[in-house]
Structure 1
């Protein structure tokens, strides 16, 4: 059988782009998800993940437009000033599987308009509800445009970022790490570009913040014990299963993000961050191992158990025992965990050195 060609395997996204209602958009999303589920077995994981996130980009961008139309029909008018709809998290990094929760925000123009606060408060709530209707569950950490913390004018955002930089506590540093994955989706691109320029210029101002980010980064470590054994859940509904997201994927994402931030790399994709890091430090065996491990981690994430409700995917993030018993999967997982642990140890040594230097 002739292998399927990547270009010929792309789902048609035109139906998503032309959707005029939330009902039509949900239907088009479900059809596209079905096509992508079938393509998983025949495409390299990087190519498949790229197609999945092409779909997500089109869906959330179209959702913003549909939301504007709904606001107009509800008598709220058109957006009174320009705005930028942006995403964070796995959507910001273009690493989502077929299921994804919400990680998003709004950057609103500083232009003066009496109605803009009221409008965008209503818009943010309506858009978040629309995305939930489309299958993007609410973010547990409330990183959503319905929340005032993630819905601000450009000037308010700059003050917020500056405030985070003045506090080395766990939560402000976590917010900065989340913000570093910001990516533009819809609206006025210039607002997102101005935001990103300010964010990146702020990152190099404080050596203490670099250490604080590193301290947060090493909190998440790969779930492998000192004997090199995979640590699975002991209790609860996922007993005997492996937490792919927090057991190996997040430790890799966080570590690579930290290294990229220290080098001033503006990419949000973990793979692109790794490519830039490798160019800066050619021949680094650990970085090469990280690239291979991260691709395997993406594969494992897509194998995590999921359910369907009303035609919408919902992922658990856990690798079921049936997959863990397969030798190729087990080997992939051990390889990922070994690399993640090696990277974690290297960053722990860097943190100890940085903290000794302050004493």
Structure 2
């Protein structure tokens, strides 16, 4: 990380001794990164921003462990890994991302209930620390303090087995969420073991990829039949473009499904594109077009309107079309056309039919 301000912020975050200090530093991160967004190469900016997010999250966990010790709960009874999903798992968080998290902990040879009770209390503090630091809760309740997302490694394996064996819509959605999972703190070995189990199940249940396709194709690109941009029609966002769900998510989802099918375990979209090209799952021109489109969508998503609600950083992923120059509008249309072609490729590869 070459930016001296970011380097200094990382050092300060690593020394923060309470959540109020951490919140102040998170605000400084926000203001600094917002100030350099327009002048920074988007890939470099994204790496810096996500390193800072990771640092805040890790410090929140360390402060929570210290609080548990102060409460007389001691240290973690078994090793554990703190997992990030969604944009955090993909290392694609924006200036204002919510919490998508989970915990996997080692099976206890002594008292499994004691271990479970410890992590339930620990995660309550972690989630609270992150909320106080400006991170909203996940609306879908994919949170480490939800017992469904805080389990021992053996419990996680049973859960995954169930999702694969009975792939209802919600189970498939959770499986796709798991594909983006990344360990940000703790014993990374547990996360690797969980990912091993996931991909072994992909081999045992090859038809699951057809079920994943429906979820992957749910969001269409915001390009009309005649090549025009599809704008929001109603409400306060009328005239804006849904960058998150009309550009970014369709491409991210398509690349993710190709990566899952190919057994690629990288979680970031750019890494997945490059791995797909290395494995000849994408032609060189397809990979180059996907990288170019992704960088544009990422930059536009970083530009989306922010709403600081009750001290929490949040945004709706929508961008006023007035913020786009004519050149950028044409670039967006070209990238969206690529996104459509990519969706057709995924559909044909999995079904054998044209979309």
Q: Would you say same fold, with TM above 0.5?
A: yes
Name the counterpart of 1:228: 227
What are the within-5 Å matches in structure 2 for residues 201-220 of structure 1? 201-220=200-219
Name the counterpart of 1:81: 78
Partners of 1:321 and 1:297 in 2: CA distance: 14
Q: Please say which of residues 313-322 and 21-30 is displaced more in the overlay.
A: 313-322
CA offsets per residue over residues 43-101 of structure 1, 9 Å max, x none?
20000000000001111011111111122223333222221111010010001111110
Asked if structure 1 preserves the Cα contact closer than 8 Å seen for 2:81 and 2:188, the reply is yes
SS in 2 for 1:313: strand
Name the counterpart of 1:320: 320
Equivalenced residue count is 350
CA offsets per residue over residues 253-287 of structure 1, 9 Å max, x none?
10000001111111000000001111122744222
Q: TM-score, normalised by structure 2?
A: 0.93
Name the counterpart of 1:120: 119
Pairwise CA distance, 1:28: 1.4
Asked if structure 2 preserves the Cα contact closer than 8 Å seen for 1:161 and 1:199, the reply is yes
Partners of 2:222 and 2:105 in 1: CA distance: 41
SS in 1 for 2:69: helix
Asked if structure 1 preserves the Cα contact closer than 8 Å seen for 2:209 and 2:350, the reply is no
Question: Is 1:300 matched with 2:297?
Answer: no
Pairwise CA distance, 1:309: 5.4
Name stretches of at least 5 consecutive residues in structure 2 with no aligned partner: none
Name stretches of at least 5 consecutive residues in structure 1 with no aligned partner: none
Partners of 1:253 and 1:15 in 2: CA distance: 33
Name the counterpart of 2:46: 49
Question: Is 1:286 matched with 2:283?
Answer: no
Partners of 1:275 and 1:9 in 2: CA distance: 30
CA offsets per residue over residues 168-209 of structure 1, 9 Å max, x none?
321111100000011111122221121122122222222211
SS in 1 for 2:237: coil
SS in 2 for 1:115: helix
Q: Please say which of residues 114-123 and 160-169 is displaced more in the overlay.
A: 114-123
Change in Cα spacing, 1:354 to 1:197, as seen in structure 2 (3 Å) is farther
Partners of 1:6 and 1:44 in 2: CA distance: 13
Asked if structure 1 preserves the Cα contact closer than 8 Å seen for 2:258 and 2:346, the reply is no
SS in 1 for 2:185: strand
SS in 2 for 1:185: strand
Q: What RMSD, in angstroms, separates the aligned Cα atoms of the two structures?
A: 1.9
